[in-house]
């Protein structure tokens, strides 16, 4: 559900940039009093894990579409909503800047759509009341994942509609976006439940809130949890990403059903062209592989798609991107912690 710049106007893009930056600042302020040396590495490895997991698109049977783990609910459950929003913003920034996944102008929209609705609506209003005292965790995770994704998908439609620069009619677009993301949300809820239960098997009290780590009576080892997610990150990003579905994701599938192609043509000129040039300079591994050298020769016939798509560029992207996310979040965490010391 990473929006491209072709879907939104500069006015909408800048507005959601402002909203997302405000959300990051608010979350960092709330985190300031709870930031410690145990939370920082957990933010880093969970962020890297979600980055790697988002590289794997799973097929939605009978649709010709695919989806991937959003990860915001997983982050909210294991980190709390404020850390989750900061982590999701960091992941999406790395993806847009260095892998050309999602537009730079649309980055604020993507942070809002994938981070805000789950962290600040679905998690506190649905997950926490249902999962109180450790009960109904599956139902709580499933419903909150579905509703968070539904709100995010509808937000994409609204942002596209109010931008007014595409040929996507509101009614047709929303009637495709919501059902396909319902299916994706169901899969996400099931996968997220499996992951948090796996984490809880290593550290049973992790679902009680990471901020309890200051309590000396916690059970299980946080070091084991961090190591577990670190290993999973490099296995998923480095190798399992070869098995990603080649079908268009829910957003691309919806656009293709309305427009006939999975991507809309980008507008030329003005701020959009400048932003595209910036993204092309920074994108060292566009589309999670090595840059292709363009030639003046006649285009060769399209290579047959192979499955699994064993690609060294994909492996490098998974490893490099995960390290980037860890470094960015570790740096962010230490900055927040340092600011806390200065204000004490």
Range of the domain at 141: 5-211+220-266+278-291+309-343
Q: Please state the separation of Cα 46 from the chain's center in Å.
A: 11
Neighbours of 228 (CB within 10 A): 18
Report the chain's mean pLDDT, rounded to a whole number.
89
Q: What is the pLDDT of residues 207-224, one digit of tens each?
A: 765 544 445 555 668 889
pLDDT at position 227, please?
Answer: 94
Per-residue model confidence (pLDDT) at position 1:
78
Q: Which of 80-89, 131-140, 240-249 has the least mean pLDDT?
A: 131-140
Which tokens is 99 given? 């892998």
Mean pLDDT of 68-87: 95
Q: Tell me the pLDDT band of 263, cut-offs 50, 70 and 90.
A: confident
In this predicted structure, what is the pLDDT of residue 300?
42
pLDDT of amino acid 264: 86
Separation of alpha carbons 235 and 159, rounded Å: 36
Distance (Å, rounded) from C-alpha 15 to C-alpha 282? 23
Q: Which residue has the higher pLDDT, 212 or 34?
A: 34
Looking at the domain assignment, is residue 271 inside a domain? no
Which position has the token pair 């010391």? 341
Measured CA to CA in angstroms, residue 73 lies from 76, 79, 92, 235, 256 at distances of 5, 10, 15, 22, 28
Residue 63 covered by a domain: yes
Q: Among 19-33, 39-53, 280-294, which stretch is predicted with the lowest mean pLDDT? A: 280-294
Q: How many CB atoms lie within 10 A of CB 28?
A: 19
- Tell me whether residue 272 is in a domain: no
Residue 245 belongs to a domain with what CATH number?
A: 1.10.1760.20
Residue 153 falls inside a structural domain: yes
Mean local confidence (pLDDT), 297-326: 80
Q: Is residue 303 part of a domain?
A: no
| pLDDT computed for residue 228 by the predictor | 94
Strand residue runs (E) in the chain: 58-60, 65-67
Q: Domain tally for the chain?
A: 1
List all residues 6 or more positions away from 66 whose beta carbon is below 8 Å from its beta carbon: 57, 58, 59, 60, 244, 245, 246, 247, 248, 249, 250, 253
Q: Let me know if residue 287 belongs to a domain.
A: yes
Percent of the chain with pLDDT over 70: 91
d(C-alpha 5, C-alpha 173), whole Å: 17
**Residue 304 is assigned to a structural domain of this protein:** no
**Nearest 5 degrees, angle CA 10-CA 66-CA 280?**
40
* Joined tokens for residue 89: 């913003």
Q: Which residues contact 209 (CB under 8 A, 6 or more apart)?
A: 80
- The verdict on residue 297 lying in a domain is no
Confidence of residue 270 (pLDDT cuts 50, 70, 90): confident
148: confidence class by pLDDT, cuts 50, 70, 90: very high
């Amino acid at each position: 559900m990473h929006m491209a710049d072709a879907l939104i106007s500069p006015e909408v893009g800048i507005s959601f940039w402002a909203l997302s930056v405000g959300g990051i600042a608010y979350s960092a302020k709330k985190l300031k009093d709870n930031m410690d040396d145990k939370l920082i590495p957990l933010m880093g490895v969970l962020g890297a894990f979600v980055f790697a997991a988002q590289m794997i698109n799973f097929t939605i049977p009978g649709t010709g579409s695919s989806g991937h783990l959003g990860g915001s609910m997983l982050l909210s459950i294991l980190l709390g909503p404020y850390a989750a929003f900061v982590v999701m913003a960091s992941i999406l920034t790395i993806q847009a800047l260095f892998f050309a996944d999602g537009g730079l102008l649309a980055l604020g929209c993507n942070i809002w759509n994938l981070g805000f609705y789950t962290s600040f609506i679905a998690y506190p209003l649905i997950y926490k009341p249902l999962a109180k005292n450790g009960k109904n965790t599956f139902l709580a995770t499933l419903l909150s994942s579905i509703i968070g994704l539904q709100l995010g998908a509808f937000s994409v439609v609204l942002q596209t509609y109010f931008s007014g620069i595409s040929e996507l009619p509101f009614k047709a677009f929303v009637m495709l976006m919501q059902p396909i993301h319902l299916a994706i949300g169901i899969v996400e809820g099931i996968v997220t439940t499996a992951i948090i239960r796996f984490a809880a098997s290593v550290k049973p009290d992790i679902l009680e809130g990471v901020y309890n780590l200051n309590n000396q009576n916690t059970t299980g080892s946080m070091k084991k949890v961090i190591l577990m997610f670190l290993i999973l990150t490099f296995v998923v990003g480095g190798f399992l990403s070869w098995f990603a579905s080649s079908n268009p994701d829910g957003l691309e599938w919806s656009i293709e059903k309305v427009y006939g192609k999975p991507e809309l043509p980008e507008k030329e000129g003005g701020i959009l062209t400048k932003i595209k040039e910036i993204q092309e300079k920074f994108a060292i591994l566009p589309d999670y592989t090595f840059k292709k050298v363009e030639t003046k020769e006649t285009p060769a016939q399209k290579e047959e798609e192979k499955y699994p798509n064993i690609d060294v560029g994909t492996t490098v992207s998974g490893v490099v991107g995960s390290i980037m996310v860890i470094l960015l979040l570790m740096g962010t965490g230490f900055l927040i912690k340092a600011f806390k010391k200065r204000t004490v």
